[in-house]
Amino acid sequence: MKPMRLTPLAFGLLVSLASLASPLLVGCSAAEVGTSDGGAGGTSFDAVYNDVLKPKCAGCHAYGAVGYRAGETETSLDFSSVERAFATLKGKSAGMSGNFGGCNGIAFVVPGDASKSLLVAAVEQATRKAFSSGTCTADAVSPMEAKVAISGANAKQIKDWVNAGAAR
């Protein structure tokens, strides 16, 4: 008997179906095997970085960024790479002055609690309005969603990642 040959199209379809079904075949969800949905709404840090932080934030918050403004731009955030972004989001705000200075020393991310995370307050109006951490109040948090057009879906993606534990 002659072996059956697959056309390139048939082979591609088989590979695609197998990759979609493989987590289900072993009883794991896509989240459990460490994947995201690859677009807006993914809760992995890589999805948050690729969908929101890199395209919307790195223009000001990266080493040598053209949008950096002394006294206005938060200086300890570096979104120039996924590794630097994750590392700096574990830290606290620094380098702000004037009205924004009250937020220096406040954690960017409080894993599991988006309502206490400065990052979420900066990208979502509802969280910002209720935000208060020491001298950092709603008035001292710069509304980033208005400055760089962060959508509600982008803010939700960040919020979901933080509430899920802010893991990498």
The owner of tokens 């009250």 is 102
Given this model, what pLDDT does residue 43 score?
A: 82
Given this model, what pLDDT does residue 11 score?
A: 36
Given this model, what pLDDT does residue 16 score?
A: 34
- Distances, alpha carbon 146 to alpha carbons 33, 112, 122, 155, in Å: 35, 25, 10, 12
Given this model, what pLDDT does residue 13 score?
A: 32
Full pLDDT tens readout for the chain, 168 residues: 454 443 443 333 333 333 333 232 233 333 333 333 334 456 899 999 999 999 999 999 988 888 888 777 787 899 999 999 999 999 999 888 888 889 999 999 999 999 999 999 999 999 999 999 888 989 888 888 878 889 999 999 999 999 999 999
The owner of tokens 């223009």 is 59
Q: What is the pTM of this model?
A: 0.72
Neighbours of 113 (CB within 10 A): 14
